[in-house]
Structure 1
Amino acid sequence: MILTTIDPAQPFQPQYSKAIDDLVTFLRSGLGANLHSVYIFGSVAKKTATPHRSNLDVIVVTQQSFAQNRTALINSIRWRFQSSHAHITELSFKTALVSDIASLDSIFSWGFLLRHCAVCVYGENLSECFGDYEPSWEIAKHWNMDVEDWLAVYRHRIVRAKNDDEHLKAQQIIAKKLLRASYSLVIPRTKGWHDDPQICGQEFLRYYPMMQLEIERLSILLSNRVVAKRSVIGLLDSYGDWLVKQFKKTEFRIG
């Protein structure tokens, strides 16, 4: 089964079109000839974004590294967006070199991301360098085999959260990761690909119905309700540990 791609001809939601145009203008001004191409991924790319809730996820591809001025450029763009596009809660950037993407090692990483999860909004569209993908364990494990590291990082962030805003943001991010990682376990059987965390949870339950309570609790973490730290940590330690073990078992069985 060939995975679907995002239709580049479908217009972005009106609330985001001007923001994307401004983003490209800022990047062209800041990077000049070094800028190769720009891509949007996530809910904005899929035209399902919700103002004041959804991030604007961006991939910036350059000819050469711009590590020295990366932080200054991105912070400048974020500052401008705060005043011009207040409905965009956060700008999230991924950066890459053309040489990194045009590599066999990037087939299941950059190749899959550009081909099936992103829309090119400026420059040469590198997604055309890759053919369409089929759902596979190789894709699933690339995107979620790092779940153990995420658990450690966000467990620490939740424990150290100084206020409800920090706590809520951390619990929502790790809940999304765990729901998507859960779905990754069954991708070889479902022969599909979903990104929406709620759908991921429901698809996972088709094969692991005994985890109904855990998936429901993760769904609660996605809401705007701040859940007690001890409850969040308990879920991360118990379900997270089970999920990590399942990934290792699946990798051993499939390879």
Structure 2
Amino acid sequence: MHLTTIDPNDPFQPNYQPAIGEMLSYLKSGLGKNLHSVYLYGSVARKTAKPGHSNLDVIVVTHKSFGDVRTTLFNSIKWRFQKTYPFITEVSFKTALVDDVASLEGILSWGFLLKHCSVCIEGEDLSECFGDYEPSWEIAKHWNMDVEDWLAVYRNRIARADKDEDQARAQKIIAKKLLRASYSLVMYRDKKWFDDPIECGQQFLNYFPEKQIEIERLGILLSGRMIAKRSVIGILDSFGDWLVQQYKKTEFRIG
């Protein structure tokens, strides 16, 4: 069973159309002929973005490195968007070279991301270099076997956060990672792919209904609601450790 793709002909939400157009103008102006293609992924690409809650997630593919202007260009776009489009919580960029994307080594990383999680909005669509993907443990572990490292990093950030907004931001990021990693654990059995973290959690419960409370708590963290630090860390330690062990067991069994 092939995984679904995002329909490139489905129009973006009206709130985001001007921002997408302006962002493309900045990238074309700043990169010129070095720009190969631009993609959106995440909720804006899926047309499910919520003003005040959703990022604008962008992939920029170039012919050669642009490290000399990268920081200036991206910071300028982010600064302008804070002023002009305050309902976009953040503009997030990933960058890649054409040769790295269209390579054998990029099949599980760039290939999967462009084919099933993104939509091309400028230039040659490199997703056409790849065939359709099927749900597999190889895809799941490529994207989520690092969950143990994420837990360590964000547990530390939450413990050290001295501002509510910093803690809330860290909570949301790690909750999103854990919910998606939860579904990836069962994706090879469920034979589907979900990107929305809440939906990932609900589908995961079809296989592990005893984790209902943990998934509900992760949903609370994802909402940005402030929770006592010890409670957040308790969730990360209990459910996070369980999830890490499940990945290791599955990898040992499947390989």
Task: Give TM class, smaller chain.
Answer: over 0.9
Partner of 2:91: 91
Q: Which residue of 2 aligns with 1:30?
A: 30
Match of 1:184 in 2: 184
- Amino acid of the structure 2 residue aligned with 1:97: L
2:106 aligns with: 106
For 2:70 and 2:152, the matched residues in 1 are separated by 27
Q: CA deviation at 1:22?
A: 0.6
Runs of 4+ in 1 over 4 A off after TM superposition: none
The answer as to whether partners of 2:171 and 2:224 remain within 8 angstroms in 1 is no
Answering whether residue 189 of structure 2 is matched by residue 207 of structure 1, we say: no
Map residues 147-166 of structure 1 onto 2, 5 A cutoff: 147-166=147-166
Q: C-alpha distance in 2, partners of 1:10/1:184?
A: 26
Q: Structure 2 matches for 1:1-255, cutoff 5 A?
A: 1-255=1-255
What is the identity, as a one-letter code, of the residue corresponding to 1:8? P
Gaps of at least 5 residues in structure 2 are: none
Query: Residue 3 of structure 1: CA displacement?
Result: 1.0
Q: What is the TM-score with the length of structure 1 in the denominator?
A: 0.98
Counterpart contact for 2:51–2:87, Cα < 8 Å: yes
**In the alignment, residue 241 of structure 1 is paired with which amino acid?**
D
* Root mean square deviation, CA, Å: 0.9
Alpha-carbon distance between aligned partners in 2 of 1:239 and 1:47, rounded to the nearest angstrom: 31
Q: Deviations over 1:45-91 (max 9, x none)?
A: 01110111100000000001112221111101101111221211100
* Equivalent residue letter for 2:93: F
Unaligned runs of 5+ in 1: none
Deviation at 1:142, TM superposition (A): 1.1
Deviation per CA, 1:12-67: give whole Å up to 9, x if none: 11111111111111001111111100000100001110111100000000001112
Q: Which moved further from structure 2: 122-131 or 218-227?
A: 218-227
Could you tell me how far apart the structure 2 residues matched to 1:220 and 1:54 are? 16
Partners of 2:236 and 2:67 in 1: how far apart? 34
User: What is the aligned residue count?
Assistant: 255
Q: Report how far residue 211 of structure 1 moved.
A: 1.3
Query: Per the alignment, in what secondary structure is the counterpart of residue 46 of structure 2?
Result: coil
Q: Distance in 2 between matches of 1:100 and 1:85?
A: 32
Distance 1:143 1:224 in 2: 24
Give me the TM-score of the superposition, normalised by structure 2: 0.98
1:166-208 deviation per Cα after TM superposition (whole angstroms, max 9, x unaligned): 1111111101100110111100110000111111111111111
Task: Identify the range of structure 1 (104-113 vs 208-217) with the bigger mean alpha-carbon deviation.
Answer: 208-217
Distance 2:3 2:242 in 1: 29
Cα distance in 1, alignment partners of residues 233 and 66 from structure 2: 38
